[in-house]
Chains A and B, each alone.
Chain A
Amino acid sequence: MNCDIVFLLPLFIVTIGAILLMLLSAFESIRLEVASALSVGIFALAFLVQLVPIGLTDVLPFVSIFNGMLAVSDFTRIASMIIIACGLFTAMSAISYFRQNNFGSLEFFSLMTFAVSGMLLLTMAQELITVFIALETVSLSIYVLVGYNRRNVLSSEAVLKYLILGAFAGGFFAMGIALVYGALGDTGFAAIAASVSRDGLLHNPALAGGLLFILFALFFKVTVFPFHSWVVDVYDGAPIPVTGFMATALKTAIIAVLANVLLLAGDIRESWLDMLFYLTVLTLFAGNLIAIGQNSLKRMLAASGIVHTGYLLIALIAVSGDQFSGSVILYYLAAYAASTLGIFASLSYLSGTDEKRKEFNDFSGLAKVRPYSAAAITIFLLSMAGIPPTAGFMGKLYIIVTAYQGGHVILAVLGIVSSILSMWYYLRLIIAMYFHEADDLFETSGSRSAPVCAFILAICVLALSLYPVAI
């Protein structure tokens, strides 16, 4: 019993922290830094607690109370750690951002912490209702965060688009649950797995259809082609720390759920292999093709996020289901999260007041003025492009290894090809930063927390590359 509470402690810490932060918002005299520090503290604490290893097999904490709705394992634990870390770094870098853009308020940190708690729940959820609740907790928090800059019409437009499409997908999710519920009379993953492994997925059309809707909604959230269109606009409109947070934490959580759903029983994945294959390939290439046309950095990063989703899909298709450790996926997520957060942390302080620097050209000559920032960004970009010795390279390596092992040679090769294509737009920023003359002084105001954040993440990106992952 007291053991079980350790498993859920991070969730509790984060949730209680979120409520605490919300209460604190009532006090106007509290400075943003305090809230930021507080949320950083909460995340750090949760992270430390999360360090306790669990084991590969699912542990169901408080079975009697939760009736198996939640399960923890090393997979969820590490996914949670990534999410918490994302929250931590976002909370840190947001301060620098809000120092230059004065629409920040204490609720920001509260909402973000709520989102994190929802995500933690998502990773552990073993039951569709829980997934739905957690998903909506996350979504609602993030809707607000996306539109946080109320004076900016773009921010509002972004939240409108996200809200409409998110709710639209949510509708499908609900309908999917309804179908599954109709087919089985139960919404637990265990029941679905039992049914699928007993009869096969395709013998139960309602179940198959329901899972398809659920998959659809999840694909929407992780921006699989062709459900990706929103992501470019929403990332563009959202404040930079939020974009970074969405790109990393949200993706990690949803991928964790996807892994849980897809790997419920081997048959689910096998039956949809064709579909998943096409979606993966299209996602890889659509992301690249959208990205090359972009002039705005955030839009490019959004599009490149689509490509990374493609890589994660490769891993999801290829990882072996029977002894699922998810380490490859998690490693990739961690590598991706570190580099993406790093870039957004850098942008948080470099973009200036009202995000005036958003295009590639706005960063021309950055290396001449701020060599260290440029170097950090370069490391992040190289990691995203998969150039050694960065974590991104190892992540890709593991994914390709997995793909080969699963017999998906074509996916592996296409993954590499897409990586070649992605060099194009990553290089563009590097070229802008280094090879052009500076006509901007890149003055920044505000705290040094975002630069520190970028620095730590740059080291993480390099250090993670040596972190071994069992396949």
Chain B
Amino acid sequence: MIHDYLSLSILLFCLGILGVISRRNVFTVFMSVELMLNAANLAFIALARLHENMDGHVLAMLVMAVAAAEAALALAVVILLHKHTGKVDTNVFSLLKG
């Protein structure tokens, strides 16, 4: 049973990774990051069940809080960038390079 949860978690995590490295839309990228964090959350909950303690729950809550904070910040940044360039394509934001 725990394996299924964990497998799902790993799958989600990998999807997240794939999303970050393959997608150019800033929103999708952030969603992928969220996916990774949620994969971790899933694992936390499942493992908390396995170990029968509350640490995992606490962690999951904290991760969610962090994810929310990051999302808020991310949205602000995306809006800011959109104001500057009118685009949400990460490839556009490569003025800093070399």
A–B in direct contact per CB < 8 Å: yes
Interfacial residues, chain A to chain B (CB-CB below 8 A): 129, 132-133, 136, 140, 143-144, 147, 150, 153-154, 156-161, 163-164, 167-168, 170-172, 174-175, 177-179, 181-182, 185-187, 232-234, 236-237, 293-294, 299
Known contacts A143-B73, A164-B33; is A153 also within 8 Å of B81 by CB?
yes
The smallest beta-carbon distance between B93 and chain A, in angstroms, is 4
Q: Which of B58, B84, B85 is most buried by chain A, counting CB atoms within 10 A of its CB?
A: B84
Contacts of B96 in A (CB 8 A): 154, 157-158, 161, 232-234, 236-237
Q: How far is the CB of A152 from chain B (nearest CB, A)?
A: 9
Not counting A168-B17, A293-B98, a sample of 9 additional A-B residue pairs whose C-beta atoms are within 8 angstroms of each other reads: A140-B73, A150-B80, A171-B33, A171-B39, A174-B36, A175-B39, A177-B59, A178-B59, A185-B47
Mostly, the A contact residues are helix
B70 touching A140 by the CB < 8 A rule?
yes
Q: State A174–B16 Cα separation when bound (angstroms).
A: 13
- Supposing A157-B93, A160-B81, A168-B20 touch, asked if A129 and B69 sit within 8 A by C-beta, the answer is no
- B80 adjacent to A164 (CB under 8 Å): no
CB distance from A114 to the nearest CB of B (A): 12
CB closest chain-B residue, reference A237: B96
Bound: A144/B70 CA distance, A: 10
CB under 8 Å from chain A, chain B span 14-73:
16-17, 20, 26, 29-30, 33, 36-37, 39-41, 43-44, 47-48, 50-51, 53, 55-56, 58-59, 62-63, 66, 69-70, 73
Question: Which of A129, A140, A143 meets B59, CB within 8 Å?
Answer: A129
Within the assembled complex, what's the spacing in Å between the Cα atoms of A461 and B43?
Answer: 48
The 6 closest A-B pairs by CB, nearest first: A171-B36, A174-B40, A185-B51, A233-B96, A178-B43, A167-B33
Residues of B within 8 A of A136 (CB): 66, 69-70
The docked-state distance in angstroms from the alpha carbon of A153 to that of B93 is: 9
Q: Tell me the bound Cα distance from A296 to B86 in angstroms.
A: 27
CA separation between A144 and B6, bound complex, in Å? 34
- Which residue of B has the minimal Cβ distance to A150? B80
The CB with the most chain B CB atoms within 10 A, among A129, A174, A182, is that of A174
How many angstroms from the CA of A353 to the CA of B90 in the assembled complex?
28
Does B74 touch A at the CB level, under 8 Å? yes
> B: which residues have CB within 8 A of A?
6, 9, 13, 16-17, 20, 26, 29-30, 33, 36-37, 39-41, 43-44, 47-48, 50-51, 53, 55-56, 58-59, 62-63, 66, 69-70, 73-74, 77-78, 80-81, 84-85, 90, 93-98
Chain A residues whose C-beta falls within 8 Å of the C-beta of B39 in the assembled complex: 171, 175
CB atoms of B93 and A161 under 8 A apart: yes
What separation, in Å, do the CA atoms of A185 and B90 have in the docked complex?
A: 39
Whether B40 pairs with A129 at a CB distance below 8 angstroms is no
Q: Which of A156, A163, A179 contacts B70 (CB 8 A)?
A: A163
Which of chain A's residues has its CB closest to B9's CB? A178
| A163/B77 in contact, CB under 8 A | yes
Residues of A within 8 A of B6 (CB): 182
Contact yes or no, A160 B70, CB < 8 A:
no
Best-buried of A144, A160, A187, A294 by chain B (most CB within 10 Å):
A160
Hey, which chain B residues are within 8 Å of A186, CB to CB? Answer: 55
Q: How far, in Å, is B18 (CB) from chain A's closest CB?
A: 12
Residues A177 and B93 in contact in the complex (CB < 8 Å), given A129-B59, A167-B30, A187-B55: no
B84 close to A153 (CB less than 8 A)? yes
Interface centre among A170, A178, A182, A234 (most CB of B within 10 A): A178
Residues on the A chain within 8 Å of B78, using CB: 160
Q: Is the CB of B20 within 8 A of A181?
A: no
